[in-house]
Amino acid sequence: MKTITITSENGETFSSISNFFIDYHMTQANGEFVKIYLYMVRLLEAGHSISIQDIADHFQCTQKDICRAIRYWVDRNILRLEYNQKNELLGITVMHLTPPEQPEEPDVNSGLNLLNRTESVSRIYPIVQTRQPRKPAPQVAEEPDNEIPVKKTYSPAQLNRLEKDQEMENILYQFEMYCGHTPTPAEYQTLLYIYEQLHFPAELLEYLIEYCASLEHTSNRYMEKVAIDWYSREIRTAEQAKQEMAAYHALNSAITKELGLSRVLTPTELRYINTWKNDYAFQQDIIIEACQRASADNKINFRYINGILTNWHESRVKNLEDIQRLDQQHAAQKKGSGRQTVQKTSPLSFHDFEQREYDNQELENFFIKEVQKMTE
């Protein structure tokens, strides 16, 4: 397969990661995408060509996974694809990064201590990518109920007015009690956004503060993300939030027990669980069924389980009966094709998500097709 070269804009070379990447891009990205970017920087320092297949082999994943990560960074103007006059891909450029025009105020809780806690605390709330606010159509006065309100900045006069609100005064007291300090201007703006624009009742906002403090994640960015996630899932009362958190922790415990894990779940594994529960809307029995099949196949890893559940999601599985129906269809197709393959026996075995083998030309065509989608 042909190789590609990785260069930097203006021929710049470096062996460290830009602080702009860490401050403004890393925290919002999927952890797997961050790893790919870091490896790109490492390859840039090495100064030699490499193929997408080589990168995929290094991370023990598929070429499609690598292309998806590259596309993510290209969309954010962090990587750039380079083509010749024949529209053939020549390489990837690592772009020069600059801070946003109006960067957020630095957060005292968003440094290395928070990163270390992320690895050691098992009750981390899953940070999910929520829907971005869409621009309202012309001459529409009100946003639809399912929109995420755009965060606005309050003027000093508005702040003075809100400080006299009795409920807001209680919320500020709750924040100081659980977080150990009076809110900074950025934290105050976040609390007002949640209270006034997301319309959280005082009881729900106070529980949000208590919940984040219990996880030792009291940064305004983290608190805002949890609030937006609750808002997008129509959690409107403290009781609903408590029930949701109890169900989430129960699911995590059931998964770790089924897989025989004695360690805490990693952020990447928590993101997988969040996808299965919220994006795929799978009930716990379906997720546990996938875990049991992974254990039966002696492949206890979340990527393998995610392959099973993604296949079921694309097949519109809603319950265990749907899974049995798919198994029967799969068995009938295998019998009809007359293929004689040797596989490990397991109850209700399902293997459609296994990777296929490609020859070199197919790999080349696949990559070209995927990366060209990035610029469409």
Tens-place pLDDT, residues 211-254: 888 777 888 888 898 899 889 888 899 998 888 778 778 888 89
CA distance 253 to 275: 17
Question: Which ranges of the chain does DSSP label H, i.e. alpha helix?
Answer: 19-24, 31-46, 52-59, 63-75, 112-120, 156-163, 166-179, 185-192, 202-214, 220-232, 238-259, 267-274, 284-296, 302-314, 320-337, 360-373
What's the pLDDT band for 93 if we cut at 50, 70, 90? confident
What does the pLDDT read at residue 138?
A: 41
Please give the Cα distance from 141 to 144 (Å, whole number).
10
Can you tell me the distance from the alpha carbon of 186 to that of 317, in angstroms, rounded to the nearest whole number?
Answer: 44
Q: What is the mean pLDDT of the chain?
A: 75
User: CA-based Rg of the chain, rounded to a whole angstrom?
Assistant: 24
Question: Using 50, 70 and 90 to split pLDDT, how confident is the model at 153?
Answer: confident
Over range 58-64, report the average pLDDT. 83
How is residue 208 written in tokens?
């949000």
> Do residues 213 and 179 touch, judged by C-beta distance below 8 A?
yes
pLDDT (tens digit per residue) in 257-295: 888 888 777 768 888 888 898 788 888 999 999 999 999
